[in-house]
Amino acid sequence: MPDNPYRHLSLWWDTLGSPFVPRAALPGDLDVDVVIVGGGFTGLWTAHSLAVADPSLRIAVLEKETAGFGASGRNGGWCSALFAASDERIARDHGHQAALDMRRAMRASVDEVGRAALAEGINCDFDKGGTVVVARSPAQLARAHAEVAAARTMGASEEDLCWLDRTQAQALIGAEGVLGATYTPHCAALHPGRLARGLADAVERRGVSIFERTTARSIESGGSRTRPRVDTAGGTVRADVVVRAVEGWTPSLPTQRRALAPVYSLMVATEPLDEDFWATAGLSRRETFADYRHMIIYGQRTADGRLAFGGRGAPYHFGSSVRPAFDRAPRVHAALRQTLIELFPALAQAAITHCWGGPLGVPRDWFSSVGLERHRGLAWAGGYVGDGVSTTNLAGRTLADLILDRKTDLVELPWVGHSSPDWEPEPLRWLGVNAGLWTMTMADRAEARTGRPSWLAGRMERVLGH
């Protein structure tokens, strides 16, 4: 059995726990019913949903590297009900009921991932312990209370999102300086690498063809007399529908260079930690955790007793460039380690065993989307802004309904058919994205110094339309 050449990509790839088996590349021209470009969660859940709904369909997945290579195998392992656009934004654009429907669908998707993984025999360490988000300064405390108040106006109950005082919060997470926290049960911690690889095996068992090491050079739409196609070095694939599911790599396609901005999120993981540490650190149900700073951080207690911890802060690279060298940024990884020690001082002597990162896809309006242009035979899903582990499952089920022309509640959700504007051309894109990252960093520093909410962050929120 060949060794796993992708171990370096992340903790998850290094701890798959099963032999790595490479798949063959596309050997020549192919004719199918549906071809999916991208072998990550979006592509795999779409293939899975289609194969379950209609086993007679001829489905092919084309993957440039190997299934789970991108964000699907490198993320924080949060299977959450978070959606890129806020409830308030959705309600403003589509109405209050549409926002409620979207939130309900996202919560159901968390459970659907766990159900499907169990049904397919995928051991991905799925534990639905919820999420605790701590407030560690007066400014963060104000945002926490505001989030709970906003949730109540959108119909969220105490069971969906609740406020925890200092004592209640510390009973869940023994982080330093906690003043209070919010808690939601709508999140599971999981091992995303095992989920991605297990899902790829599952769709193959259902008759889907996965071709790895197959780069899509272009996607061509269909017309009244032609079918859409994907051109690769190994051959041309023609289908009734082509699904674009490449997230952070979307700008590599000739007609999609400004559709999404690939923004890097980086992570570190500790060595397995002993029971003395966990006795005070908590997270006994593997609650995922974060805090209310502006520059996002996120963490989980892994099934083997590590802390896997990540955050934003890496720069956007000119021209939406995506390169392996960008996966590691010593300055950012060092800052993540320092933040982890600030949260849990007992980790000062703990070894960091893994450092990694990768790009996620950010649409110009921060609004994820899924859709099908039937007259052109082109479908898409993406722009998850880092909240894709569960959203991809919803995307896959929605795409299956759209492709099979099924009139379900999923195809009526407000993200279906949403069209985000293109990002600005360079150098405006580079200036704008990095200015946003700088602004949030400065806002956090100002709040740490003054204890007051930053006007800079408020201004950026208005610019983004949140």
In what helix (H) or strand (E) does residue 338 lie, and over which residues does it extend? Answer: helix 330-343
CA–CA distance, 134 with 143 (Å, rounded to integer) = 11
CA–CA distance, 440 with 50 (Å, rounded to integer) = 41
**Judgement on whether residues 463 and 391 belong to the same structural domain of the protein:** no
**Judgement on whether residues 434 and 419 belong to the same structural domain of the protein:** no
Q: What is the pLDDT along the chain (466 residues), one digit of tens a residue?
A: 468 999 999 999 999 998 899 999 999 999 999 999 999 999 999 999 999 999 999 999 999 999 999 999 999 999 999 999 999 999 999 999 999 999 999 999 999 999 999 999 999 999 999 999 999 999 999 999 999 999 999 999 999 999 999 999 999 999 999 999 999 999 999 999 999 999 999 999 999 999 999 999 999 999 888 999 999 999 999 999 999 999 999 999 999 999 999 999 999 999 999 999 999 999 999 999 999 999 999 999 999 999 999 999 899 999 999 999 999 999 999 999 999 999 999 999 999 999 999 999 999 999 999 999 999 999 999 999 999 999 999 999 999 999 999 999 999 999 999 999 999 999 999 999 999 999 999 999 888 888 888 876 766 665 555 5
**Judgement on whether residues 20 and 110 belong to the same structural domain of the protein:** yes
Instruction: Count the alpha carbons within 13 Å of 32 in the hemisphere toward its beta carbon.
Output: 26
Which pLDDT belongs to residue 1?
Answer: 47
Q: Would 394 be classed as within a structural domain? A: yes
Q: Would 248 be classed as within a structural domain? A: yes
User: Nearest CA to 250 among 85, 382, 373?
Assistant: 382
**Judgement on whether residues 205 and 109 belong to the same structural domain of the protein:** yes
Pairing, β 261-270 against β 162-165: unpaired
Q: Would 2 be classed as within a structural domain? A: yes
**Judgement on whether residues 111 and 122 belong to the same structural domain of the protein:** yes
**Judgement on whether residues 28 and 100 belong to the same structural domain of the protein:** yes
Q: Would 108 be classed as within a structural domain? A: yes
DSSP-assigned letter for residue 161: S
Model confidence, pTM: 0.96
In what helix (H) or strand (E) does residue 78 lie, and over which residues does it extend? Answer: strand 78-80
DSSP-assigned letter for residue 257: T
**Judgement on whether residues 436 and 414 belong to the same structural domain of the protein:** no
| CATH number of the CATH domain containing 16 | 3.50.50.60
Pairing, β 216-220 against β 229-232: antiparallel
| Dihedral pair phi/psi, residue 427, rounded to 5° | -90, 5
**Judgement on whether residues 107 and 11 belong to the same structural domain of the protein:** yes
Q: Would 114 be classed as within a structural domain? A: yes
Q: Would 316 be classed as within a structural domain? A: no
Q: Would 137 be classed as within a structural domain? A: no
Q: Would 300 be classed as within a structural domain? A: no
- Residue listed under structure tokens 């017309």: 223
CB 319 within 8 A of CB 346: no
User: Nearest CA to 276 among 337, 336, 347?
Assistant: 347
CA–CA distance, 51 with 199 (Å, rounded to integer) = 12
**Judgement on whether residues 64 and 2 belong to the same structural domain of the protein:** yes
Number of domains present in the structure of the chain: 2
User: Nearest CA to 72 among 133, 113, 19?
Assistant: 113
**Judgement on whether residues 394 and 465 belong to the same structural domain of the protein:** no
Q: Residue 8: give the domain boundaries.
A: 1-126+189-259+361-423
3-state helix, strand, coil in the chain (%, to 5): 40, 20, 40
Secondary structure (DSSP) of 278-324: HHHHB-TT--EEEES-SS-EEEEE-TTS-EEEEE--PPPPGGG---G
**Judgement on whether residues 450 and 394 belong to the same structural domain of the protein:** no
User: Nearest CA to 183 among 217, 243, 234, 134?
Assistant: 134
**Judgement on whether residues 102 and 35 belong to the same structural domain of the protein:** yes
